[in-house]
Amino acid sequence: MKNKIIFSLLFVCFLCFAAANAQEKVKTVISYLKLNNKTVELTVVSTKPFIVGGNMYILYLGNKQIRLSRQSKKDGKGIITFLIPLDDFKQAKDGVDIWMVYGDYILDEGNTAIDFAALYKENPLTCWPLGKLKKKSLKK
Amino acid sequence: MKYKKINLFSLLLLLCFLFISNFQGYGQSTPDPGLIGPLAVTKVGYNLGNMAFKPPSFADTVELRGSIHYPTLLIGGPFPVLVFLHGRHTTIFQTSNPANDALAWPPPAGWESVTSFEGYDTLARLMASHGYVVVSISANGINASDASSFDAGMSARGELVQRHLDLLNTYNTVGGAPFSSLFVGKLDMQNIGTMGHSRGGEGVVFNALYNRSLGSPYGIKAVLTLAPVDFSRRVLNGIALLNIAPYCDGDVSNIQGVHFYDDARYTDPSDTTPKFSVLMLGANHNFYNTVWTPGLYIAATADDWNDYVGGSLPYCGTSGVGSKRLSPIKQRAALNTYAAAFYREYIGHETEFAPILEVEDIIPPVSSRLDSTAVFVSYHPTRFNRLDINRTDTSIRITTNNLADSVKSNGLLISAICGGGLSMTSCGISSSSTREPHKGSSGVKGLAQMNMKWNNPTDYYQNNIPSAYKNISAYKSILFRTSINYVEYTGGLSLDYSLQITDSVGNTASVKISDYTEANFYPPGVVTGYLPKIMFNSVRIPLSAYTGINITKVKNIKFLFDRSTAGGILISDLTFTGQEDQCGLVNTRFGYDSIGGYNTNFYDSSVVTPGASLSWSWIFGDPTTGASNTSTLSNPTHTFSGDGSYTVCLAINSLKTNGVTCRDTFCTTVIKATQCNVIDALYSADSIGNFDIAFNDGSIVNPGDVVSWRWDFGDPASGVLDTSSLQNPMHTYPGAGTYSVCLKIRSLTNRGFNCIDSVCTNVVVKQFVDHTGIENQDKSHIYIFPNPAKDYLDIRGAARTDVIELYNQFGQIVFSSVIGQSIVKLPETLATGMYFATIITENGKLYKKILIRR
């Protein structure tokens, strides 16, 4: 009995250790939405720095592309702030899916929408789902 | 037993023979452009500050910093110039903790710049060893904030390169800190090549267009885009272009750079420059730059495929199944070799490397460290060097080719023109450009192609040739681009088929594609979303392979799918090529000579096609002179309206006897100033032995002027020795003949004004009997013994006050002495070699050739 208890305790300890050392999943979220003059700044923060490379970060509000951004890094976190013209922000529908993609993916001829779910499945390291647009969270 | 051994040996011999004869391929006689050159190299740097320049189209101020690799001795010149522009990368790191890096500019205290511009040093050293001055510039200030720029900073990159070209021009004309006069007269600002990596690739395209918009003050002749982006789809025509595409690019994974090639093919009918694209299987984005490569720099390095896609994934992952990734050393070697081939041909005019990029020699040079399964070239000849059979560029090409004759197919399961985007249907390959880089983007179409699928050996695709074009004897090859369509053909193996020509009486000749190319490979790798990729590569079949037909009466060209039982391919750009580049010889140049006041004589010194009818069109950049601002004479005189800087251009139309008109233009700046009126370039030439000519500067300048000289000996075959910056150089010509020799002088006056004048005259070179101490002594009262000499010269017949000077083959004086006693001791420092002795007497000079043997 005593041996069984010791073995069980050891097993539980092992599980805890394994859990504690399991690779932490990268989290990428919209940090804030702020109106700055006539530009809406949508900031995305990640627990891992973003790639600094030749390709382009593109934010999709539904199918609307936003290409202007600022990129930085702080305390090991990656930060990208997209600069959305106020008019484009107003035209975007509340509740549309927001995606961020590293790379300018071409829409297939004849199609008008990217299958983001498929893209995310194919490119999990360079495609990020960011939830839905909540216009009421815009800070002025 | 002995019988069995003999049979085994014979079998091995037979197998070797079969292997060799099975792959006709092309010969490996092409010289290797990637071997280090003969010149020693020095590297220097300049840094004018982190906030030294504000590009007009950019919100922020950026640095002016760069490195220069150059031939150490800088003998002769001016030298062609290469400018490298790196791409977007982390810009700064903390000195005490390099793992802490950032995308910001300028570096704050305790931080320093990531020196991305130094990542191409091996290529820079290689090119400098062949006589180039290579400048690599820093673009961190742009990289730090280009994401918020309207065009991702591309205009700013173009302006930054131009600013550096202006700086180089200053170093070349009047000199400046930190180099003083080191580069004065040494930079050929009309013979420039550029290279841009990643965003730098689109940046150098922007620069070439920007330079053109400014009136082409600099002669940019070759542009290399290295794993570039192409966000804006600008098209560059009129300049030789090479794009390098790494198959395992994990950053620009849709290999956008293919658009630079595709878009430029047929856009400008007057474009006389070729386009190239080199696919490097196994290459990633970052390894071309040592500063971006893990293990080679202390901060912000990455293996883009491993980090952004996955290192354990097949083919491109370094730890993936069947990994074919190139090591950093191999990848850089490959870049260096193909870049060298490109620049040495299109900047250095070393045409012996043409077969490498023109798909005539598909065996990669040894220096590239690649084999023929790892690198593939696309080649688009100039319009003077091809006859387009079928461009596959519009839907109508499925029935009617570019020669206005019919197109037929038989039995094909798929036979369609597709892929051009917008109004043209997709080939149905992939919804993502990552798998199909040639795809169009919204607003700009992609590559249109012929899509074919077969499953029967009698299936074929045929282009008929009309009688007006039946005589193809002027051409050397059939050329087309192709890729396996991995969606329609999933067999995973290379494909083979025949290319058949039929003449007007029905004779046919076929060649097996696999005898001449390995470009029908199955696109490698299976990585969801990334691999395989459709990448078009050129196939070139020599017409000499077709025997038994009359190539002056060709009726049709047929793709006969009689080898692989089933398959699917895409093709484009079917053409005949290999005709002599009729306009390649045309090279417009001119000189000028001030003849008093503002009057200037202009001399046409162009190289043109023999027998062509010429017409000249001069523009003197002096519009206030009205009709006199132009001329159609070959050697006009122009009276400038006053002091100023004038851009003078000469355009030559060269009408060949076959009706082809070649056109080339050359512009240069002519400075006129009152104080320059006295400046007059003059020289004399003396024959001093065999075909050796000594040139003596006799120019008239203002007293106290700082003068520099640029000689052009009219002997382009001598390469870098065809020019000199010495005042009194010597040149050895290859043989007797008449050579157009030009001297251009720049005279910097004490008021800081840069006066320029030039003179060109024809120098007649004849065989010269060598007046040595042994031969022809009766023609001179001065004799020099012994010859060859070792430690001394015995000079008989000279006066005690006469002077002997010895010059080396570069025209540099290495020894001088008053003769005094007849015996003149030679310094021990003189190496074995041929020297030119000048005896200066009261009655003039005497020239003798002396061989010194130690």
| Interval B119-133: pLDDT, tens | 999 999 999 999 999
pLDDT of residue B8: 54
Q: List CB contacts (< 8 A) between A121 and chain B.
A: 528-529
Query: For residue B371, what are its two tokens?
Result: 């084999």
Chains A, B: CB contacts within 8 A come to 112
Q: List CB contacts (< 8 A) between B525 and chain A.
A: none
Q: Is residue B770 part of a domain?
A: no
Same domain, B210 and B81: yes
Angle separating helix axes B328-346 and B121-128, nearest 10 degrees: 40
pLDDT of residue B841: 85
Decide if pLDDT at B326 tops 60: yes
Query: Is the ipTM of this structure higher than 0.90?
Result: no
Residue-range definition of the domain harbouring residue B838: 777-852
Q: How many Cβ atoms are within 10 Å of B30's Cβ, its own excluded? A: 17
Q: Is residue B3 part of a domain?
A: no
Q: Is residue A3 part of a domain?
A: no
**CATH number of the domain to which B111 belongs:** 3.40.50.1820
Same domain, B392 and B376: no
Q: Is residue B565 part of a domain?
A: yes
Q: Is residue A12 part of a domain?
A: no
Q: List CB contacts (< 8 A) between A106 and chain B.
A: 254, 432-433, 439-442
Q: List CB contacts (< 8 A) between B425 and chain A.
A: 109-110
Same domain, B221 and B350: yes
H or E element that contains B20 = helix B2-22
Q: Which of A108, A112, A122 is the best residue to mutate to test the B interface, defined by the most B CB atoms within 10 Å of its own CB?
A: A108
Q: Is residue A6 part of a domain?
A: no
Return the beta strands (E) in B690-796 as ranges.
692-697, 706-712, 723-724, 730-732, 737-748, 754-765, 783-785, 792-796
Q: Is residue A8 part of a domain?
A: no
The shortest C-alpha distance from B431 to chain A (Å) reads: 5
Percent of the residues in chain A that have a pLDDT greater than 90, as a whole number: 55
When pLDDT is averaged across residues B100-109 and rounded to a whole number, the result is 96
**CATH number of the domain to which B718 belongs:** 2.60.40.10
Query: Which of residues 88 through 117 in chain A touch B, CB cutoff 8 A?
Result: 102-111, 115
Return the beta strands (E) in B345-497 as ranges.
375-380, 386-390, 407-410, 414-418, 449-454, 460-464, 477-484
How far apart, in whole angstroms, are the C-alpha atoms of residue B718 and residue B732? 9
Looking at the complex, does the CB of residue A120 fall below 8 Å from at least one CB of chain B? Answer: no
The shortest C-alpha distance from A75 to chain B (Å) reads: 9
Residue-range definition of the domain harbouring residue A35: 24-139
The shortest C-alpha distance from B695 to chain A (Å) reads: 52
Decide if pLDDT at A5 tops 80: no
Same domain, B633 and B676: yes
Q: Of B810, B795, B790, whose CA–CA distance to B840 is shortest?
A: B795
Contact call for A52 and B88, based on CB within 8 A: yes
Determine contact, residues B315/B531, Cβ cutoff 8 Å: yes
**What is the DSSP code (8-state) at residue B471?**
-
pLDDT grade for B271, boundaries at 50, 70 and 90: confident
Peptide bond into B178 cis (omega under 30): yes
Shortest CA distance from A76: residue in chain B? B100
Q: Is residue A9 part of a domain?
A: no
The shortest C-alpha distance from A110 to chain B (Å) reads: 8
Q: Which of B251, B287, B289, B422 is the best residue to mutate to test the A interface, defined by the most A CB atoms within 10 Å of its own CB?
A: B251
Q: List CB contacts (< 8 A) between A109 and chain B.
A: 421-422, 424-426, 440
Q: List CB contacts (< 8 A) between B227 and chain A.
A: 54
Find where tokens 């689109």 sit.
Answer: B202
Query: Which of residues 11 through 50 in chain A touch B, CB cutoff 8 A?
Result: none
Q: Is residue B2 part of a domain?
A: no
For residue B441, give the nearest of A71, A106, A110 by CB distance.
Answer: A106
State how many domains chain B has. Answer: 4
Contact call for B308 and A122, based on CB within 8 A: no
Return the beta strands (E) in chain A as ranges.
28-36, 39-46, 57-61, 64-66, 69-74, 77-85, 97-102, 127-132, 138-139
- Its pTM stands at 0.74
Same domain, B293 and B161: yes
pLDDT of residue B581: 56
CB half-sphere exposure, A114, CA atoms < 13 A? 28
pLDDT of residue B778: 35
For residue B198, give the nearest of A54, A108, A121 by CB distance.
Answer: A54
Q: Of B554, B575, B541, whose CA–CA distance to B386 is shortest?
A: B575
Contact call for B147 and A106, based on CB within 8 A: no
At which of B356, B380, B404 does a domain end? B380
Q: Are strands B813-818 and B803-807 parallel, antiparallel or unpaired?
A: antiparallel
Q: Is A48 helix (H, G, I), strand (E, B) or coil?
A: coil
Contact call for B431 and A111, based on CB within 8 A: yes
The pLDDT tens digits for A19-76 are 444 446 789 999 989 999 899 999 999 999 999 999 999 999 998 899 999 999 888 8
Beta bridge partners of A40: A35, A84
**CATH number of the domain to which A117 belongs:** 2.60.40
Percent of the residues in chain A that have a pLDDT greater than 70, as a whole number: 81
The pLDDT tens digits for B426-447 are 787 876 788 889 987 656 788 9
**CATH number of the domain to which B783 belongs:** 2.60.40.3080
H or E element that contains B356 = helix B354-357
Decide if pLDDT at B524 tops 60: yes
Contact call for B251 and A55, based on CB within 8 A: yes
Same domain, B400 and B299: no
State how many domains chain A has. Answer: 1
Q: List CB contacts (< 8 A) between B90 and chain A.
A: 52
Q: Which of A50, A101, A109 is the best residue to mutate to test the B interface, defined by the most B CB atoms within 10 Å of its own CB?
A: A109
Determine contact, residues B265/B241, Cβ cutoff 8 Å: no
Same domain, B656 and B755: yes
Decide if pLDDT at B586 tops 80: no
When pLDDT is averaged across residues B301-319 and rounded to a whole number, the result is 95
Question: Is the model more confident about B75 or about A105?
Answer: B75
Decide if pLDDT at B3 tops 60: no
Same domain, B630 and B561: no
pLDDT of residue B705: 77
Query: What is the distance in angstroms between the CA of the first residue and the CA of the last residue of chain A?
Result: 66
Same domain, B365 and B468: no
Q: Which of B308, B487, B526 is the best residue to mutate to test the A interface, defined by the most A CB atoms within 10 Å of its own CB?
A: B308
**CATH number of the domain to which B522 belongs:** 2.60.120
